[in-house]
Structure formats: C-alpha cells, structure tokens
C-alpha cells in the first residue's frame, strides 16, 4: 500500500475516492461471484454459527452483497440500522422483508422507525460495511463516523464485529485517527481473519 503521508484525513479522503471508483467499476457478474464466496466464508465461521441475533447492512454502491446470508437461515434474528442524527439506531427487521424498509437520508434502505428496537444486550454479532479494512482491524468507511461512535460506547464495544470487504480492499495498514475503533475480525471472499490481540 502507498504511504499515508502525514495527514490521515487527506489520505483517507483520497483513498475513499479511489476505492469507491474501483469497486463500482467491477462487473455485476464479478461482484455477485465475490459476494457469494464471501458469504460462504461467513457461513462456515464459528462466530457466525454461534450468533443468534446479527446486525447487518443493506448493500450500497456495490458493497459485498449479503443476500445469501439473509436467504440461508430463517431462524436467525436480524437487525438493520437507521440513521438518527449522528447515531445508528437498530431495529429488529429481516433484510428480505422489503415492505419494512424505506430509503434513508443517504439513499440506503433502512427500517421504519415503528419496528422494535434492539439494544446492545440483544446482539451477538455485528457485520460492518467498509470501503477497506486492514489486518489490524481498522476500517475505512464513508466518513460519517457512525460505526466508530457506536463501537466506542461501552455497552457496544464488547460485541464481536466483522468488517466485510472484498480481498482487494484488505490492506496491511490504513491511515488511522485516534477515534477509529478496531474490529475483531475481517471477512473477505478468501476467509475470515481474526485480528491479533482482539
């Protein structure tokens, strides 16, 4: 990976632009194949198999598609986020129940506010979207800081987290800032990697 330079904010901004363009240039066929392989890696992982309530995301801008996970297990409980101010509020909602979803302020599908809310104590696993992750567990998001604020809260910080990216977006090291919160594992189409020391 290229040097991040002395300004992590600028490095992140440039990297976001580059990675977003790269991901959106992927053919639909390749995106679907890589997404299927990534989901298979998750299905085989012990942390997935032990989780009963999973927080997920709705695919946006050719993020890895989790539909195979959503179709695979009807007994698992799902939660999806809704952006409220500067926070994520989680609601119990099956991602395939599109009648329970509407477009939020960023154009991403999110649950209706009337659906039951989930607390940290309800949750076994969080699948975290990202533009990129590194082997130290740090992620590059879209710059809103929603997941960093969530995972900095004491009641959420102990929940296992898996960053979900394609292998081409897994780096040895990303530029970081003091408020960045590391994840406990990363999943790509080639495997699930535990972050050392977490």
Which pLDDT value is given to residue 198? 60
What are the backbone angles phi and psi of residue 129, rounded to the nearest 5°?
-75, 155
Domains of the chain with bracketed CATH:
8-194 (3.40.50.10420)
pLDDT at 6 over 70: no
The tokens describing 161, both together, are 């987290």
3-state SS class at 93: coil
Which pLDDT value is given to residue 4? 42
Q: Are 131 and 169 in contact (CB under 8 A)?
A: yes
Residues paired with 126 in a beta bridge: 55, 161
Per-residue model confidence as pLDDT tens digits over 73-108: 658 899 999 999 989 999 999 999 988 999 988 889
Which pLDDT value is given to residue 128? 97
Q: Residue 145: CA atoms inside 13 Å, Cβ hemisphere, count?
A: 11
H helical segments located in the chain: 8-24, 28-43, 46-50, 67-72, 146-152, 154-157
Per-residue model confidence as pLDDT tens digits over 55-66: 999 998 899 999
The tokens describing 101, both together, are 């979803």
Which pLDDT value is given to residue 61? 85
Q: Are 51 and 192 in contact (CB under 8 A)?
A: no
Selection from 37, 50, 68 nearest residue 188 by Cα: 37
Which pLDDT value is given to residue 175? 85
Least confident of 135-139, 157-161, 162-166, 194-198: 194-198
Q: Are 34 and 165 in contact (CB under 8 A)?
A: no
pLDDT at 5 over 60: no
pLDDT at 1 over 80: no
Which pLDDT value is given to residue 74? 59
Greater pLDDT, 10 or 92 = 92
Percent of the chain with pLDDT over 90: 69
Least confident of 8-22, 55-69, 111-125: 8-22
Per-residue model confidence as pLDDT tens digits over 14-38: 888 888 888 889 999 999 999 999 9
The tokens describing 116, both together, are 């039951």
* Residue 44 backbone zone (phi > 0: left; psi -120 to 50: alpha; other: beta): alpha
> Mean pLDDT in the chain?
90
Which pLDDT value is given to residue 73? 62
Which pLDDT value is given to residue 3? 38
């Amino acid at each position: 990976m290229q040097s991040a330079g002395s300004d992590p904010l600028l490095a992140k901004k440039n990297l976001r632009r580059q990675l977003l363009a790269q991901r959106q240039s992927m053919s639909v066929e390749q995106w679907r194949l890589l997404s299927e392989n990534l989901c298979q890696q998750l299905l085989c992982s012990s942390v997935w198999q032990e989780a009963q309530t999973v927080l997920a995301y709705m695919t946006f801008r050719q993020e890895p598609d989790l539909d195979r996970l959503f179709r695979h297990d009807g007994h698992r409980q799902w939660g999806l986020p809704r952006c409220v101010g500067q926070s994520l509020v989680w609601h119990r909602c099956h991602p395939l129940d599109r009648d329970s979803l509407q477009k939020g302020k960023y154009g991403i599908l999110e649950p209706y506010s009337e659906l039951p809310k989930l607390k940290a104590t309800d949750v076994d696993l969080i699948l975290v979207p990202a533009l990129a992750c590194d082997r130290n567990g740090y992620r590059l998001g879209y710059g809103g800081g929603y997941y960093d604020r969530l995972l900095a809260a004491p009641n959420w910080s102990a929940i296992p987290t898996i960053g979900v990216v394609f292998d081409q977006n897994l780096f040895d090291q990303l530029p970081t800032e003091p408020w960045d919160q590391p994840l406990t594992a990363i999943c790509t189409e080639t495997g699930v990697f535990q972050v050392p020391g977490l």
